[in-house]
Amino acid sequence: MFIILALFFALPQEYVNLVMNEQYDEALRYCEEMIQKNKDTYQWKIEKGDIYYSKLLDFQHAAEVYQDVVDNYKHKNGWAYYRLAQVLEIEEDYLNSARMYEIVATRFRKAPLDSFSLNGVERCFKKNYQDYVAVIDGYNITRLELDERTGRGGQFARPDEKAVLEQMITERLIFANAVKHGVIETEFFETNFLTRNRTLLLEEVRASEVIKRADPTEKQMKKYYKENKDKYIVREQVMGKEIVVESDTLAQFLFDSLSRDIASFDTLAKQYSTETSARNGGLMGIVYPGRKPANVDTVIFNTEVNTLTNVVPFDGKFGIYYITSHKPEQYREFDEVAKQIEAQVRTQNIEKEEEELNKRLRKKAKIRIYDDSIIAVLKDTTDQSKDVTIAEINGRKITWVQAVQRNDAMAPRFAKVDLSKPDKVEELLNIIFDEELRLELAWRNKYFLHDGYFMQFKDVMKTIMDQGLYQKVVLDAIVIDSAEVEKNYNEQIEEFKIPESARVHEILLDTKELAEKVHGEAIAKPEAFDSLAAEYSIGPTNIRGGETGLIRRGMMGEDYDKVLFSLGIGEISNVFSVKENTWTIIKMVEHYPEHYRSLDEVRHIIESRIKRQQQSELASSFLDRIREEADIQILLPEAEETSEPQTDSEE
C-alpha cells in the first residue's frame, strides 16, 4: 500500500492554491522567494522543478532544476534522482535516464521508490539495447521493442513483423513532427491535456488511496462467509434418466423390460420417450426440487441411487426414472467460493474506502457554500451571473460558470444534475469539492511520480500530440471554396433529385363488392374518407384514418403509381387492385412534382464531403513528405527464400 511519497513538509495553502488555480508564474515566483530566503531550499527547488515538469510540461527547465538539486543534495533522498530520470526518459535521453534510475535502485532502497525505479531501468534497457531494427533520424527502434509490439511467442502473435515495424516508424515520424511543429504549445493541446490529465490524476489517487486499501484480508473474507453462508447453499439435487410416455400399458411394458435389463434404458428412451431428453438416452441432467411435477419429485427424491422407480403417473402421462446420483442440500466450502467472496468483499471495501477518503480530506478542509448567491444566480439568467462565487474550498473560489462547465462535462450524460434547483446545485458542489480535494492531495503527495500514472501520462501526451498535429497540418489547413461547392453541386445534381411524391389516405378492403360500396360512400361524402378508412380499412393505416405518409414514385409499383399520380388534390381514385385479394381506394392529399434540392439545402453535405476528401489527401501527402524528408534505415534481415522441393523429373 502506498503511503505519502514526497510530502517532506506541509506545503502552504496559499502556494497550493496558486498551483490549483493554474497560476503557475505566480507559483514559480513563490518558490523562488522561498529559495532566496533559504527556507527549505531543497524542497522549494523540488517544487519549482515539479511545476515545470507536471504543470507547464517544460521538461528542459525541469531537468535543469532537478540536475541542480541532484548536484547539490546528493544524499538527501532518491526522489530528486527519480524525477530527473523521468524527465530524461520523456526527453528520450535513455542512457542518462537509466543511470539515474540505477542510482535510485541501488542507493535509495525504499518502497515504492525502489520498484518504480526498477521499472524505469527496464524501460530504458529496451531503448538502450544495441540490437536495432530501424533508425529514424537518429532515433532507434530496438529488437526488444519490436518483439514486444508483435507479441512474439504469444497466442496472437503477428507474423508480419515488417508491417508492425512500418507502423512504429510512422508513429515515430508523426510524434517527431508534432514536436517540430510546436503542438505542445497550441491551445488544442493545452485544452485536451488539461482534461485528460485531470482524469489521470483522479484515477491515480483512487488507485492509491482506495483500490489498494480495499484488498480483502482473509479475516474479512471469512467473516463475510460466516455472515452470508446462506448465499452459498447448494440445493438438493438428483441426476438420472427418464422415459415418459402417454400410455399406462406402454409404460408398464417398458418398466417390465427395464426391470429385466436396465442397460437397455438409453435405447428404449430414444425409441419411446416423448420428452426432449429422449435424444440423449433419457438423461435428465441436474434436477432440483420443484423442477418436476410434485408427485414425480416425491418419487425421485426418495429413491435410492442406482434404483429404478415404479411407473409414476402425472398430468396424463406416465414416467419411469432411474436415479444415478442424489446430493442433499449442503453449504459450499469456503475454499470453493473464496474468489467470489474476495470480489464481493473488495467491492464493499472500495465503497467504504471511497467514503473514508472523502471524510479524511474534508475533515481539515475549509468549505463554504453561499446559498444566497446560488438563489440569486438562479433568478438572474444574464451573463453577469457567470462569475458569481457560489462556494469556496480551502480559499479557492468556485464560480457559477465553473459549476455549469463541470455539470456539462458530467459522464454519463444522465448523471447531470438539474441546476435550476438549489439542492441539486449543492449536490453538484459536493462532487466538485471531493474532486478538488483529491486533486489537491495529488499535488501535495506528488502522485504524478507514480509509475502507473507516468506510463499513462506518456501515452496520453503522445496521443494528444498526434491529434494536435492532425489538427494543425490537416484540419486547420482546409479552406472550403464556395465556387468549388457550387461546381460539385452542379456536377452531382442528380444525387440531389427528389422523385415525384405524394401524401395520400387509403382504404384497403378484402372484397371488391365491399370496396365498391365504400367507394360510393366516399364519392358521395369526400370529407368522410378518414372515418370510412377507420371503420372499414383492413390495412395498418386505419388507426390514422388511412394516412400512409410520403409515397415516392416507384415505392408501390408501376400499377399503383399510374393511379396515384393521375389524381388531383382531393380527388378519390376508383377501386383498384395491385395485390391479390386486396382492393384499394386512395385519396390524394398532397402532391410534390419531381425537383432538385437547392444548393443551400445540401451545402453542408457537399462541404463535409469536400472536407473529408481534402483531409485524406492532406494527411496522405503530409505522411509521404515527412517520410521522404526523414533518414530512415530499416535493419531487419531479409527473409530467407525457401527453395521449392525438386521433383523426380528435375533430378
Residue pLDDT, tens place only, 322-344: 999 999 999 999 999 999 999 99
Determine the pLDDT at residue 649.
42
Cell numbers representing residue 209 in the block: 488511496
Angle between helices 422-444 and 334-363 (to 10 degrees): 100
Residue 412 pLDDT > 80? no
Backbone angles phi and psi of 479, in degrees to 5? -125, 125
pLDDT bin (cut points 50, 70, 90) of residue 159 is low
What are the tens digits of pLDDT across the range 252-304?
999 999 999 999 999 999 999 999 999 999 999 999 999 999 999 999 999 99
pLDDT at 403 over 50: yes
DSSP assignment of 302-361, as one string? TSPTTEE---EEETTEEEEEEEEEEE--EEPPHHHHHHHHHHHHHHHHHHHHHHHHHHHH
pLDDT class for 111, splitting at 50, 70, 90?
confident
Listed residue (177, 179, 100, 169) closest to 132, CA to CA: 169
Helix (H, G, I), strand (E, B) or coil at 92: coil
In this predicted structure, what is the pLDDT of residue 564?
96
Does residue 650 have a pLDDT over 80? no
285: left (phi over 0), alpha (psi -120 to 50) or beta: left
Please report, as a single letter, which amino acid is at residue 414. Answer: F
Question: What is the per-residue pLDDT across 174-217, written as a single tens digit (0 to 9) for each?
Answer: 999 999 999 999 999 999 999 999 999 999 999 999 999 999 99
pTM of the predicted model as reported, rounded to 2 decimal places: 0.75
Q: Give the span between the Cα atoms of 433 and 365, in whole angstroms.
A: 9
- 294 membership: H or E segment, kind and range: helix 294-300
Question: Is the predicted pLDDT of residue 5 greater than 60, yes or no?
Answer: no
Instruction: Tell me which residue has cell 496558486.
Output: 18
Those residues with Cβ within 8 angstroms of residue 434's Cβ, 6 or more apart along the chain or in another chain: 358, 361, 362
pLDDT at 580: 85
In the chain, how many H helices and how many E strands?
24, 19
Read off the pLDDT of each residue in 148-165 and give the average, rounded to a whole number: 72
pLDDT computed for residue 158 by the predictor: 54
Q: What is the mean pLDDT of residues 535-544?
A: 94
- Looking at residue 572, the DSSP 8-state letter turns out to be B
Please state, in angstroms and rounded to a whole number, the distance separating the CA atoms of residues 434 and 224.
Answer: 30
Torsion angles phi and psi, residue 216, rounded to 5: -70, 140
Grid cell for residue 576: 383498384
Which contacts (CB < 8 Å, 24+ apart) does range 431-435 have?
Answer: 431/406, 432/391, 432/393, 432/398, 432/402, 432/403, 432/406, 433/362, 433/365, 433/367, 433/391, 433/393, 434/358, 434/361, 434/362, 435/202
pLDDT at 120: 95
Distance, CA of 89 to CA of 128 (rounded, Å): 11
Q: Rounded to an integer, what distance in angstroms lies between the CA atom of residue 646 and that of residue 639?
A: 21
Stated length of the chain: 651
Give the tens place of pLDDT for each residue, 591-616. Answer: 999 999 999 999 999 999 999 999 99
- Average pLDDT value over all residues in the chain: 92
User: What's the confidence (pLDDT) of residue 383?
Assistant: 74
Choose among 617, 602, 615, 618: nearest CA to 486: 602
Q: Which of 45-59, 405-419, 561-575 has the lowest mean pLDDT?
A: 405-419
* % of the chain with per-residue pLDDT over 70: 95
CA 496 to CA 421: how far, in whole Å?
A: 48
Phi, psi of 181 (to 5 degrees): -85, 5
> Exposed, middle or buried: residue 290 (CB in 10 Å: 0-12, 13-18, 19+)?
exposed
Average confidence (pLDDT) over 366-382 = 91
| pLDDT at residue 152, rounded to an integer | 57
Place of cell 430414444: 270
Q: What does the pLDDT average to over 71-87?
A: 91
Report d(CA 270, CA 277) in Å as an integer.
8
The string of pLDDT tens digits covering residues 426-464 is: 999 999 999 999 999 999 999 999 999 999 999 999 999
